[in-house]
Amino acid sequence: MESVSGILQSAGRTVDPKSPTWRAISLLDQKLDLLITLLQKENTIQEVEFIRCGVNVSGSGIRFPSQQAYEKGDIL
């Protein structure tokens, strides 16, 4: 799959790599490439190291998959 930069170049467009808009588009493109790569891998298990830390989620909350049901006020 072609990158955003490649698509723009093939269309004859130029981009200022220092512009905030271009940096945001480029970062989004990188993240999407990573997600696509992860989703395409079949039956792979990657061990991930998690860091325990406090997070204030009172404004927007947080969502994560779990096989266990939690109640309001539970500490995770």
Is residue 34 in some structural domain? yes
* Contact criterion met (CB below 8 Å) for 38 and 44: no
* pTM listed for this prediction: 0.43
pLDDT along the chain (76 residues), means of 10: 74 82 85 83 66 73 79 81
Taking alpha carbons only, the member of 10, 9, 39, 34 closest to residue 22 is 9
Q: How many domains does the chain contain in total?
A: 1
Is residue 22 in some structural domain? yes
Residue 25, domain extent: 4-40
Is residue 33 in some structural domain? yes
Is residue 12 in some structural domain? yes
